[in-house]
Amino acid sequence: MIMPVKTSRRTLGVTFDSSGTASIRLWAPRAKAVALLRGQDDTPELLHQQPYGYWQLTTDTLREGDVYRFQIDGKTTVPDPASLDQSGGVHGPSRARTVEGFNWTDSAWVNPKLQDYIFYEIHTGTFSPAGTFQGIQEKLPYLRALGITAIEIMPVAQFPGDRNWGYDGVFPFAVQASYGGAEGLQKLVDACHAHGIAVVLDVVYNHFGPEGNCLPALGQYFTEKYKTPWGNAINFDDAGCDAVRNYFVENALMWFRDFHIDALRLDAVHAIRDFSPKHILRAIREHVEQLMIETGRQYYLIVELDLNDTRFIDPLDRQGYGMDAQWVDEFHHALRVAAGQPATGYYSDFKGITHLAKSYRDAYVYDGMYSEHRQRSFGVKTNGHSGDRFVVFSQNHDQVGNRMLGERTSSLVSFEMLKLLAANTLVSPFLPLLFMGEEYAETNPFLYFVSHEDKALIEAVRKGRKAEFAAFHDEGEAPDPQASGTFQQSKLEWSRLQEPRHQTMFTFYQTLIAIRKRSAALRCTNRNQLTVTAQEETQTLRLDRWCDQEHALCLMNFSSVPQTMSLESDVRWRRVLDSADTEWGGPGSLAQTGDQVTLQPESFILYTR
């Protein structure tokens, strides 16, 4: 039987014992011979062949800090696919290092309950002027003051160059050197915990980037059985898959164990092809459960999913994959159509305010209904799953960055609508996620950018981007993804916080988050304690939520004219927040007459009793 994963330590790549002796383990089943090449010394040191395609060596010649490569069959040289340090780039050698010896100060840290997570999605390179983990760390007091309880960092696995969204990573175990490397990430996590903030890391287990991927030279890491948008699928169920599965299980465990990450967000798991009796996500879940027993810490697994299939979030004892939560794009799509986004492309399936109300009730809009866009019935019911199984948002990196010009919502809708969109996310029974800069209405775009070194690939990316938006040339040309200016345009402009309009929006978000935190009705994620009613003709929505002795009511007007809504005449409501109030830069609240409330256009009023 192939060697099982050890939850207590890494078994792949280079590890060091207490005396500094290196143990090296590589899976290269196609090789006839494997040798270690250390530093500038090209004298090969042979690894010993082990069962199931593994090669192993214990040596005193490789020390921490040394660069090294593997030589395959006396010809091809490759970096270590389990490298922890690719500071020489994706085409360079690996550097031997450890991640186990960091001096942690977070022994008292307790990961919050998932229902208390308020996510803040960050791209490390564009969040701060420095574009590093240190740059994020310097903003932690700001994030804490905003009310954020968890930052979600876009992928940090080593990618080509120093500009990338992170989804082109090719060394899953190596932390991007230009961000600060492994130690920089560990320092950030330790500092986050000191500020009472959890850390979610975005990881990519569905594909590898197109440049610098050394895995095909080593073994059956990919299979031709299935295709994905990025080419052949990663091999989770074909010949040789045991070692591939272990590779990714070990990666997930490393982030939790050695970097003290609190949750992983697994990118696009609908693109993972696995018909094994035990799906790879279930295997990861089982190993994480064992790690939690060993460490006494809580870890979460959150997935991006486009299948409306509760099997992914069903618990293990119900034969599910055991994921703790999933992103719900459909809430976003319905919300954006309600806010005036044209119902084209994948928005064409959504009927705005009617489907927004359905998503409040059911999480999935399509839960067995026929989808015109997909041309088939789609989805299942979410019965039995609480609201903290679903992450919702009014914008994120995909929904902004996949637009041709990368426009943030602040460039597409009015100031009043921005506040209404914020409320929809933060008063929902789901887990709210903010995209960096959203809280102060950042207007800089978030564009698609890369820094490939392969000239043919650079040109292919440029052509692909232009072709994708060929029908939109009346809006201008798609910015060049390779240009450094495209990346620079995407950085947050923190000086905007000094401007009254942006400061007002920040304070509005801060207040709304504080209200959610102190309100039992709004914190509650019991989806059975909720009613919602949408009026298509007036473009208004009423959301009632309750818990214990508290009742919260949110009246929303998505239309461009004032609308009157009714309150119960025998109930005394307390008005907590009116987004149209001049305090929030609005036109001013309208008078209430008895149980009749008139809302300004594109506004909401929150009541409690």
Give me the active site residues, please. 267, 304
Q: Is 114 annotated as a binding residue?
A: no
List, in sequence order, every beta strand (DSSP E) within 208-295: 222-228, 231-234, 263-266
Q: Is 123 annotated as a binding residue?
A: no
Considering all CA atoms of the chain, what is the largest pairwise distance in Å, rounded to the nearest integer?
Answer: 89
Q: Output the CA–CA distances (angstroms, integers) from residue 27 to 32, 201, 203, 502, 592, in the order listed.
A: 12, 26, 22, 53, 71
DSSP, res 331: H
List, in sequence order, every beta strand (DSSP E) within 30-159: 34-38, 41-46, 48-49, 54-59, 67-72, 76-78, 94-95, 119-122, 150-153, 157-158
**Tokens encoding 396:** 């994120």
Q: How far apart are CA 234 and CA 332, in angstroms?
A: 29
Phi and psi dihedrals of 99, rounded to 5?
-125, 0
Q: Is 265 annotated as a binding residue?
A: yes
| Total number of residues shown for the chain | 609
Q: Is 397 annotated as a binding residue?
A: yes
| Beta-carbon contacts of residue 476 (< 8 Å; ≥ 6 apart) | 404, 405
Q: Is 399 annotated as a binding residue?
A: yes
Q: Is 331 annotated as a binding residue?
A: yes
Q: Which of 189, 157, 154 is nearest to 81 (CA)?
A: 157
Q: How far apart are CA 104 and CA 189, in angstroms?
A: 9
Q: Is 308 annotated as a binding residue?
A: no
Q: Is 195 annotated as a binding residue?
A: no
- Say if residues 431 and 493 touch (Cβ distance below 8 Å): no
Q: Is 503 annotated as a binding residue?
A: no
**Tokens encoding 56:** 């192993």
Q: Is 17 annotated as a binding residue?
A: no
Phi and psi dihedrals of 3, rounded to 5?
-60, 125
Q: How far apart are CA 352 and CA 534, in angstroms?
A: 10
Write the single-letter amino acid at 513. I
Q: Output the CA–CA distances (angstroms, integers) from residue 340 to 21, 316, 373, 600, in the order listed.
A: 63, 41, 19, 17
Q: Output the CA–CA distances (angstroms, integers) from residue 545 to 509, 526, 597, in the order listed.
A: 20, 9, 19
**Tokens encoding 87:** 């500071």
Q: Is 398 annotated as a binding residue?
A: yes
Q: Is 439 annotated as a binding residue?
A: no
> Directed axis angle between helix 181-194 and helix 241-259, to 10°?
50
Please state, as a whole number, how many other Cβ atoms lie within 10 Å of the Cβ of residue 179. Answer: 23
Q: Is 267 annotated as a binding residue?
A: yes
Strand partners, 198: 150
Q: Is 401 annotated as a binding residue?
A: yes
| Beta-carbon contacts of residue 402 (< 8 Å; ≥ 6 apart) | 448
SS3 608: strand
Q: How far apart are CA 563 and CA 555, in angstroms?
A: 10
Q: Is 203 annotated as a binding residue?
A: no
**Residue pointed to by tokens 């070692």:** 243
Q: Which of 73, 71, 72, 97 is nearest to 83 (CA)?
A: 97
Binding residues for substrate: 265-270, 329-333, 397-402
Binding residues: 265-270, 329-333, 397-402
